[in-house]
Amino acid sequence: MQNGRYRMYDSVLFDNDGVLTYLTELAVLERAIETTFAEFGVADPPREDVEALHHLTIDDLETVCDAYGVDPAAFWRRRERNAATLQQAEIRAGRKPTFEDVDALDALDVPVGVVSNNQAVTVAYVVDYYDLDAEVCIGRPPTLDGLRRKKPEPDMIETARDRMSVENPLYVGDSPTDVVAAERAGIDSAFVRRSHCRDAELSTPATHEIEDLWALPELVEKRAE
């Protein structure tokens, strides 16, 4: 303890999309799905099938793929590749920038990691392109198992904690799923109420609710009572 302060968390883990970088436009993700359908011989998939492959479960994927006689694992690998390629192009074109308060990461004196439901290659690209000082960056692999283990499952958060050799991280997210994943991993959460999630209702309460990332240095180090 120095100057009456103590460290509340030994590290901070961040979701990416909607927290560090702006959300990817829905049209970009739809284009990735439509491109994947075309690569499997489906030129004009019904709108409901495209929509079903956004925030999907294994059951959703298998249902759609069964309807077209397509192997779900192969379709998913190709979909993830196409989504990653298009998102990287969006980043280079300046259409998926970081939020201005991402500079708050430089004010933290604890290790930082990134844990996202986005593709692992996309998360790594974000960290490298924007030169974020993250010790680990974890996203989902392009496999059915990766789809099963995405948040709100705690697996990726637990992996980051193990790789960083930390015990008490704070997880920062912008969705109810992030809060649930943190709770399942047994750690505290900070829900950042960006404009796109200002009115979101949390069935599982976050440990902290913050307006922007500049609140984090104060959360990490608390003044002793």
Q: State the pLDDT at residue 173.
A: 98
- What is the pTM assigned to this prediction? 0.94
Q: 142: which 2 tokens? A: 């392009």
Mean pLDDT value across the chain: 94
Rg (CA), the chain: 18
Is the pLDDT reported for residue 146 higher than 80?
Answer: yes
Is the pLDDT reported for residue 87 higher than 50?
Answer: yes
What distance in Å separates the CA atoms of residue 8 and residue 222, rounded to the nearest whole number? 6
Q: State the pLDDT at residue 225.
A: 46
Q: Tell me the pLDDT band of 7, cut-offs 50, 70 and 90.
A: confident
Is the pLDDT reported for residue 1 higher than 50?
Answer: no
Is the pLDDT reported for residue 2 higher than 60?
Answer: no
Give every CB contact of residue 187 below 8 A, 6+ residues apart in sequence: 157, 161, 168, 169, 170, 171
Q: Tell me the pLDDT band of 221, cut-offs 50, 70 and 90.
A: confident
Q: Tell me the pLDDT band of 223, cut-offs 50, 70 and 90.
A: low
Q: Tell me the pLDDT band of 5, cut-offs 50, 70 and 90.
A: low
**Which residue's entry shows tokens 């009115």?**
199
Q: State the pLDDT at residue 3.
A: 54
Q: State the pLDDT at residue 163.
A: 98
Is the pLDDT reported for residue 199 higher than 90?
Answer: yes
Going by C-alpha positions, the residue among 85, 83, 106 that lies closest to residue 214 is: 106
Q: State the pLDDT at residue 56.
A: 80
Q: What percent of the chain has pLDDT over 70?
A: 96
Average pLDDT of the residues in 39-62: 91
57-71 pLDDT, tens digit per residue, is: 899 999 999 999 999
Question: What sign results for the dihedral spanned by CA atoms 221, 223, 224, 225?
Answer: negative
User: C-alpha 11: how far from its chain's center?
Assistant: 17
Q: State the pLDDT at residue 198.
A: 96
Contact 189, 170 (CB under 8 A): yes
Average pLDDT of the residues in 111-132: 98
Q: Tell me the pLDDT band of 149, cut-offs 50, 70 and 90.
A: very high
Going by C-alpha positions, the residue among 10, 14, 2, 7 that lies closest to residue 213 is: 14
